[in-house]
Structure 1
């Protein structure tokens, strides 16, 4: 379900484990055991490499030795737990037998669990299963906190966080990024004529229709009422325009009926903002503002159409009309 990067968070149901060990032999043994237990496995030889991976990809469980380069595994645990973006990563420290002092240091550094060398694989699997239960519970809580209760789209807070992170990546890497504002046409009339229960059906159906048009890394958010927004990382030019037109067509192609079986027409107006049309890399707020202005133009031009935000002071142009 393309909410976030298309799951409310857009992640697979598999739990990912990052194994960090300085010894190639230990790294191979541990990673093969974790993979055989059914986990998605990533590896690193040093804590610094591991921290770099954790900044680039979602990791659920961090399994690390203590002596893993200039930065110790304990320091890596402390850094993870002190960062709001990674504090939920479940950390397991591998300690040498008899190192009771290091065990105490591990727990003080924020480790959630520990396992002693030589690692008993049955015990390792059991500890991973216990960690997995907590990881999945945290995912559920996070999904509830980030999701609009009625429609299942991302709520405004979650959407803005994702848009800001993607805009930052676009500015630093020069990657394209597009934002679409989507507003249902004459929605108040639907509520007033057919009732709010019908309006809710239109909203939830529209979200499903839009989600079906999105890629895994796209995100659909409900900003309020009948107003939605979509962020399209990596999309530019004609690809973004086609995506917007798919959404417009999907919304207008829905079939809703009233209590008498009469059809209820539903359409949407869309405003599209693109990066890469000039030398200025936009912020999240400016992209959203540009898309909102293009949406306003789409409403004024007759609704049920896609309008593209112009490069700076030019006039918005129509991309598609229903």
Structure 2
């Protein structure tokens, strides 16, 4: 049942509104002054407001302005009521955010029709907001919404000098779940993983799915020890939780999670830095055996190799991809061929550039190749799905990210093809999508096959 607040200084109008709206099944609350209406709005939830434009004391126009300035109230539809029908007043009300305008004495059928229209629009807007901010599979905050809410929490922690903790979660060996049991089983794991998070973490903790099998939790006003204890409770619950794949066959599956934690206890210039440090903790957790929590605040001072790994993570998330340096520039700023380890042929990858990006550190270059393979081996399918579903935002994100990381590993042909697709999506050149996608897909398959062949043993060790 929708709840409507009717505000009018004319008591006979309020009686009529109460009668007509109640007869239609609405719950009606009436008041004859704008100041009491504003107090009611602070205490109770309403789905729609009928607001008289001219009242003694605080006018309806002034009340409307207050309502539309408040974050918690601005989405409530407001229909203005007035005995006057001057165009200037109507325009002023609509510009302040009113949804509609009805003259008095009102015609009941017309008013009720406009109320129904406003409520339908409100519901549609709510649905659109949910779609825009919620992960479609798990129902929790998507990446954008998580970042928005966590940024606000971070800013509040700074202004109140309270501690905030950010934890990154990655389901261990998730690719094996999809490979061995199918993507439907993988979806079941993701959904139950999320449900378990909702049970373990507090209502005011901010939970989000960042993509794939990666999740994050922001703990506002929380000491790092408390957050780690909560993460440990979750890790143990997940470890012992049997995911039901088939009720008929009684088939179950157990998964584990690696977690990286970072807090504002260590000075952080912003949320991005906190996420970056938590990501490094997550990397250490996976690299040192999985199914554990690493507190990035306690890691040793970041060495040069770790810094380049952080920079690699940054490259994935940067808004604009870094253009590759030319060979002439590389010769001036990077080690010469004689300084680099002997290179082997990797299809689609210029190792001179790739090794140069990590200052000739071959072991680090191999680690980055592994990371590139793990993070992007299924980008072809993701891109194809996004383009087929006409999800330009997702397709652009995938092409843009692939462009940046391809440059990092020296996959220059892949870089150029992903760049062309990225530009076409930005320009809305729909007729070019398929042809450019096929070029990206072919080059990506070549690069991934080369990495798989070169690092077969290392990839096998990581996935086992």
TM-score using structure 2 length:
0.49
**Structure 2 residues not aligned, in runs of 5+:** 303-464
Query: SS where residue 215 of structure 1 aligns?
Result: coil
- Equivalent residue, structure 1, for 2:86: 100
| Pairwise CA distance, 1:187 | 0.9
User: 8 Å contact 2:77–2:122 — kept in the other structure?
Assistant: yes
- Identify the structure with the greater helix proportion: 2
How far apart, in 2, do the equivalents of 1:69 and 1:266 lie? 65
How far apart, in 1, do the equivalents of 2:193 and 2:35 lie? 47
Q: Choose 166-175 or 111-120, whichever is displaced more.
A: 111-120
| Pairwise CA distance, 1:306 | 1.9
| Pairwise CA distance, 1:228 | 0.7
1:270 corresponds to 2:259: yes
1:45 corresponds to 2:35: yes
| Pairwise CA distance, 1:60 | 6.1
- Equivalent residue, structure 2, for 1:11: none
1:299 corresponds to 2:286: yes
Q: Choose 222-231 or 122-131, whichever is displaced more.
A: 122-131
| C-alpha RMSD of the superposition | 4.7
Once the two structures are superposed, the pairs formed by residues 19-168 of structure 1 within 5 Å of their partners are 45=35, 61=48, 66=53, 74=61, 88-95=75-82, 97-98=83-84, 100=86, 102-114=89-101, 131-168=118-155
User: 8 Å contact 1:75–1:109 — kept in the other structure?
Assistant: no
| Pairwise CA distance, 1:268 | 0.5
Summarize the Cα distance change of 1:109–1:254 in structure 2 as closer, same or farther, 3 Å threshold.
same
Summarize the Cα distance change of 1:174–1:60 in structure 2 as closer, same or farther, 3 Å threshold.
farther
**Structure 1 residues not aligned, in runs of 5+:** 1-13, 316-322
1:186 corresponds to 2:173: yes
| Pairwise CA distance, 1:82 | 9.8
Query: SS where residue 235 of structure 1 aligns?
Result: coil
- Identify the structure with the greater strand proportion: 1
User: 8 Å contact 1:167–1:282 — kept in the other structure?
Assistant: no
Which of 133, 140, 164 is residue 177 of structure 1 equivalent to?
164
Query: SS where residue 45 of structure 1 aligns?
Result: helix
User: 8 Å contact 2:258–2:282 — kept in the other structure?
Assistant: yes
Q: Which has the larger radius of gyration?
A: 2
Query: SS where residue 243 of structure 2 aligns?
Result: coil
User: 8 Å contact 1:171–1:281 — kept in the other structure?
Assistant: no
Aligned length: 288
How far apart, in 2, do the equivalents of 1:16 and 1:240 lie? 39
- Equivalent residue, structure 1, for 2:194: 207
